[in-house]
């Protein structure tokens, strides 16, 4: 790719090659973390915690085509690439962390995942566990928006709508409120960050559990990328995202844990979420 920031001397980087993935935790350790969250819920410490695993793989060559494949994954509301000197991020996120337009603030939390088949859709819609997990996060997002000074009534415009992303069904809600024009960007971001769908409830207690359980930091994942204009802000949550440093590609995936979570199913769900990104990187 001519003009790539990660290839500043414009030498030929060679063909793209991705090595084997190295997981930051084993399926057994992931499952054990799920059990630890369930125990914390039983003690009354938290209601839900989103636990996230990480994997990295060495790479060589020009990453441009691979990153474009990630950004073009079906269902990406926020598909794009951001790059600098020796690093790059590609996201195919379907989730809105926060949007401000025409005096309203909107967030669109996603919680609940199944294969994009007819049976998967029926299972997702019928799952009491997935719906309970989802409603907890919707309530958390309502509270986050209500913390903003001068914010009008917070409403749930859509609840548990099932939409498709890269071969998966996902449940999404839309939460919104009128926004006082005096609210600044810093105050707005303090209210909504980090996103409830990637933390849990109560948020501060969930963050403490995350810090104790997760094997590595989340890096650029579970943050936000988007754009800010003088009359419009739109930031997507950086789920379904890959980051490249000078030598390795990094991906993250996880899920929300409730008292009814089954450890093996949570491990499988995380693998399903990161699968399309890994496949796109390999050109499959």
Residue 69 pLDDT exceeds 80: yes
Q: How far is CA 138 from CA 22, 68, 84, 196, in A?
A: 34, 32, 35, 8
> Average of pLDDT values for 18-23?
97
Query: Domain segments of the chain: what residues?
Result: 19-282
Q: Tell me what pLDDT residue 8 has.
A: 44
> Average of pLDDT values for 112-131?
95
Q: Tell me what pLDDT residue 273 has.
A: 95
Residue 38 pLDDT exceeds 90: yes
**Residue range 43-63, pLDDT digits in tens:** 999 999 999 999 999 999 999
Q: Tell me what pLDDT residue 11 has.
A: 55
Mind telling me the catalytic residues?
Answer: 95, 111
**Residue range 150-171, pLDDT digits in tens:** 888 999 999 999 999 999 999 9
pTM, rounded to two decimals: 0.91
Residue 266 pLDDT exceeds 90: yes
Q: Tell me what pLDDT residue 7 has.
A: 53
* CATH number, span 19-282: 3.60.120.10
Residue 2 pLDDT exceeds 70: no
């Amino acid at each position: 790719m001519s003009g790539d920031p990660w290839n500043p001397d414009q030498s030929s980087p060679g063909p793209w090659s991705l090595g084997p993935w190295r997981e930051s935790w084993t399926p057994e350790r992931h499952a054990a973390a799920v059990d630890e969250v369930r125990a914390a819920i039983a003690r009354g410490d938290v209601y839900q915690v989103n636990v996230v695993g990480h994997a990295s793989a060495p790479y060589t060559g020009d990453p441009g085509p691979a990153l474009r494949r990630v950004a073009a994954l079906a269902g990406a509301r926020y598909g794009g690439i951001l790059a600098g000197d020796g690093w790059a991020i590609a996201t195919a996120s379907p989730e809105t962390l926060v949007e401000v337009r025409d005096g309203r603030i909107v967030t669109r939390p996603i919680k609940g995942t199944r294969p994009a088949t007819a049976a998967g859709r029926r299972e997702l819609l019928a799952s009491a566990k997935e719906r309970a997990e989802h409603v907890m996060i919707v309530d958390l997002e309502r509270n986050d928006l209500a913390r903003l000074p001068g914010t009008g009534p917070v409403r749930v415009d859509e609840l548990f709508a099932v939409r498709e992303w890269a071969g998966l069904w996902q449940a999404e809600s839309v939460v919104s409120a009128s926004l006082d024009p005096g609210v600044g960007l810093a105050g707005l971001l303090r209210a909504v960050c980090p996103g409830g769908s990637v933390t849990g409830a109560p948020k501060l207690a969930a963050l403490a559990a995350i810090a104790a359980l997760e094997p590595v930091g989340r890096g650029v994942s579970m943050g936000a990328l988007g754009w800010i204009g003088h009359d419009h802000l739109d930031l997507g949550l950086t789920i379904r995202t890959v980051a490249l440093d000078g030598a390795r590609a990094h991906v993250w995936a996880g899920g929300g844990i409730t008292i009814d979570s089954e450890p093996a199913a949570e491990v499988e769900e995380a693998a399903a979420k990161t699968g399309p990104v890994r496949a796109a990187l390999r050109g499959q």
